[in-house]
């Protein structure tokens, strides 16, 4: 264990954040509350912005994406950004969800959100969380809701009724994955239960975005308590580490930016995703509010850098052949830099070198990940975001097992590595010296 810090304390704080963030809406509200407590001023997209040198601000969009920034002065040289995402694969509650079954059960109609492992969703306590839009005397108001109890479950079919299930099974989301809500008496009560949890009248609910979430508490485990497991590690572990480093760091030359965007798991093509204008709008409004020109904004981008932080696949102890022969990240082995020749990841020689330099200064170990050449991998938000805000970007992540399961596993050392690297990144000024060259300035 690293004796310089209490990694168990950091892991416990991370698990608390994960457990209190059953949806992207809750994750963003929890980060917003932390920022308010640290003295950051909340901006509204619908208002005119007044930005001051030395100021600290944050703004949200759709209640599920958040951008926080610290302004050193009007003559800043660039933006230093760490971007992660707030969403995780799950099941969304459909409209008119209740389905009666033979007069004895009530189940709920749901649909998949993102690409998940289906099997681990069975036979574990689940509940429902999200947001409601309710009628008020003056118009409409959005309220977060979390039914904070074991509410539903997706029961497996007994082995006796499908003897071949262990030989491989193709799960049908419409017939196999519907959660059981209650017995016959539960009919017509779901929205009443949701309304009571939110403290609103059922008849005032005019819209909802509701999702299933895993109720199992996070756990620290292993012979030396070197592993931890919880839901939504991908990608809230990176969001947590980025925020902690952002709050601890800062330099006199660059605008520090902590960005957490929604809908990465479904392609990012939403008004609050990486393919939206949210980051672009925020940076340009910041630039304009300080009285800077468009030319100054573009020159600042040339000296800017982004870390796209989205978790990485660690080598699996039972499937070691699934990893690349020479790039094999392990849990507790440090931050993973991700490479892909076809630009699923943004990392190139320049951005890898910059990030390696930051990690060297922070005394943080670095690993590398590439997919096997005969296996297609996923993409992330860095290259999508670059279509609107083009700047040198490195894709990184923390190694984990069982990605996109409702109960994923990470290493207890790696969160602290990210916090330390993020603090160093935000504390180090970067200045471009032509294409492909950077200077570290203090």
Domain chopping of the chain, boundaries: 7-88+231-434, 90-214
Predicted confidence (pLDDT) at residue 3 exceeds the cutoff of 50? no
Alpha-carbon distance of 188 to 98, in angstroms, equals: 7
Kindly calculate the radius of gyration of the chain based on its CA atoms and give it in whole angstroms.
23
Q: Which long-range contacts (CB under 8 A, 24 or more apart) does 51-59 make?
A: 51/286, 51/289, 51/290, 53/290, 58/32, 59/282
Pick the CATH number of 90-214 from 3.90.1150.10, 3.30.70.1150, 2.30.250.10, 1.10.443.10: 2.30.250.10
Task: State what percent of residues in the chain have pLDDT above 70.
Answer: 99
Do 149 and 127 meet the contact criterion of CB atoms below 8 Å apart? Answer: yes
- Which strands sit side by side in the sheet containing 312-313, from one edge to the other? 219-221, 227-230, 408-411, 399-401, 312-313
Cross-strand partners of 260: 66, 84
Q: What is the 3-state secondary structure (H, E, C) of 366-411?
A: EEEECCCCCCCCCCCHHHHHCCCCCCEEEEEECEEECCCCCCEEEE
Cβ neighbourhood burial of 216 (10 Å; 0-12, 13-18, 19+): middle
Do 284 and 301 meet the contact criterion of CB atoms below 8 Å apart? Answer: no
Alpha-carbon distance of 71 to 48, in angstroms, equals: 17
Tens-digit pLDDT profile for residues 211-225? 999 999 999 999 999
Alpha-carbon distance of 373 to 368, in angstroms, equals: 15
Alpha-carbon distance of 348 to 335, in angstroms, equals: 16
User: Smallest Cα–Cα separation from 345: which of 389, 314, 388, 376?
Assistant: 376
Confidence of residue 108 (pLDDT cuts 50, 70, 90): very high
> Which pLDDT score is estimated for 436?
85
> Which pLDDT score is estimated for 5?
59
Pick the CATH number of 7-88+231-434 from 1.10.10.10, 3.40.630.10, 3.90.470.20, 3.30.750.24: 3.40.630.10
Tens-digit pLDDT profile for residues 155-213? 999 999 999 999 999 999 999 999 999 999 999 999 999 999 999 999 999 999 999 99
Predicted confidence (pLDDT) at residue 268 exceeds the cutoff of 60? yes
Do 69 and 256 meet the contact criterion of CB atoms below 8 Å apart? Answer: yes
Q: Is 329 helix (H, G, I), strand (E, B) or coil?
A: coil
Predicted confidence (pLDDT) at residue 414 exceeds the cutoff of 70? yes
Alpha-carbon distance of 71 to 317, in angstroms, equals: 45
> Which pLDDT score is estimated for 2?
46
Tally of CB atoms within 10 A around 224: 9
Alpha carbon separation from 316 to 50, 162, 233, 321, 340 (Å, rounded) = 50, 29, 17, 9, 20
Please report how many Cα atoms fall inside a 13 Å half-sphere around the Cα of residue 264, on the Cβ side: 28
Predicted confidence (pLDDT) at residue 1 exceeds the cutoff of 50? no
User: Smallest Cα–Cα separation from 175: which of 157, 152, 150?
Assistant: 157
Structure tokens at 114: 């993102």
> Which pLDDT score is estimated for 434?
83
Q: Are strands 126-135 and 56-61 parallel, antiparallel or unpaired?
A: unpaired
Indicate the range of 148-157, 182-191, 261-270, 433-442 predicted with least confidence: 433-442
Alpha-carbon distance of 15 to 17, in angstroms, equals: 5
Host H or E run for residue 215? none
Task: State what percent of residues in the chain have pLDDT above 90.
Answer: 94
Spell 354-368 as b/e; 16+ CB within 10 A means b. Answer: bbbebbeebebebbb
Q: Specify the DSSP class assigned to residue 348.
A: -
Span 377-386, mean pLDDT? 89
> Which pLDDT score is estimated for 379?
80
Span 303-319, mean pLDDT? 97
Q: Where are the alpha helices (DSSP H) in 249-373?
A: 278-289, 294-302, 349-362
Asked whether the whole model's pTM tops 0.95, one would answer: yes
Confidence of residue 431 (pLDDT cuts 50, 70, 90): confident
Tens-digit pLDDT profile for residues 328-345? 999 999 999 999 999 899
Span 382-405, mean pLDDT? 96
Predicted confidence (pLDDT) at residue 4 exceeds the cutoff of 50? no
Residue listed under structure tokens 């509350």: 33
Confidence of residue 376 (pLDDT cuts 50, 70, 90): confident
Confidence of residue 265 (pLDDT cuts 50, 70, 90): very high
């Amino acid at each position: 264990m690293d004796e310089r810090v209490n990694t168990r304390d950091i892991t416990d704080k991370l698990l608390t954040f994960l457990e209190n963030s059953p949806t992207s809406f809750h994750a963003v509200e929890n980060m917003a509350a932390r920022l308010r407590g640290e003295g950051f001023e909340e901006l509204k997209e619908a208002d005119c912005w007044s930005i001051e040198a030395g100021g600290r601000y944050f703004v949200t969009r759709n209640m599920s994406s958040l951008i926080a920034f610290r302004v050193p002065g009007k003559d800043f040289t660039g933006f230093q950004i760490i971007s992660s995402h707030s969403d995780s694969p799950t099941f969304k509650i459909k409209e008119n969800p209740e389905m009666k079954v033979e007069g004895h059960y009530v189940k709920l109609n749901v649909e998949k959100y993102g690409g998940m492992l289906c099997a681990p969703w069975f036979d574990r306590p689940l509940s429902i969380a999200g947001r409601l839009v309710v009628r008020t005397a003056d118009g409409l108001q959005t309220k977060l809701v979390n039914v904070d109890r074991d509410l539903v479950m997706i029961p497996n079919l007994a082995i006796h009724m499908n003897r071949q299930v262990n030989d491989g099974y193709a799960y049908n989301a419409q017939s196999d994955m519907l959660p059981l809500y209650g017995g016959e008496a539960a009919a017509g009560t779901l929205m009443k239960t949701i309304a009571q949890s939110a403290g609103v009248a059922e008849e005032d609910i005019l819209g909802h975005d509701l999702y299933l979430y895993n109720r199992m508490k996070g756990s620290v485990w292993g012979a030396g308590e070197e592993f931890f497991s919880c839901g939504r590690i991908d990608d809230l572990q990176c969001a947590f580490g980025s925020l902690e480093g952002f709050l601890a760091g800062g330099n006199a030359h660059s605008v520090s930016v902590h960005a957490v965007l929604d809908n990465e798991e479904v392609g990012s093509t939403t008004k609050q995703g990486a393919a939206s204008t949210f980051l672009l709008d925020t940076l340009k409004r910041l630039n304009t509010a300080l009285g800077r020109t468009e030319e100054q904004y573009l020159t600042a981008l040339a000296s800017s850098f982004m870390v796209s932080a989205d978790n990485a696949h660690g080598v699996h102890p039972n499937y070691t052949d699934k990893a690349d022969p020479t790039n094999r990240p392990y849990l507790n082995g440090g931050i993973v830099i991700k490479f892909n020749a076809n630009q699923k990841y943004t990392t190139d020689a320049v951005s890898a070198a910059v990030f390696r330099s930051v990690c060297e200064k922070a005394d943080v170990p670095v690993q590398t990940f590439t997919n096997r050449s005969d296996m297609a991998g996923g993409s992330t938000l860095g290259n999508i975001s670059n279509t609107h805000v083009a700047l040198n970007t490195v894709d990184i992540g923390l190694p984990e097992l069982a990605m996109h399961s409702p109960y994923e596993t990470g290493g207890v050392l790696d969160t602290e590595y990210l916090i330390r690297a993020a603090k160093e990144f935000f504390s180090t000024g970067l200045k471009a010296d032509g294409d492909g060259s950077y200077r570290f300035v203090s």
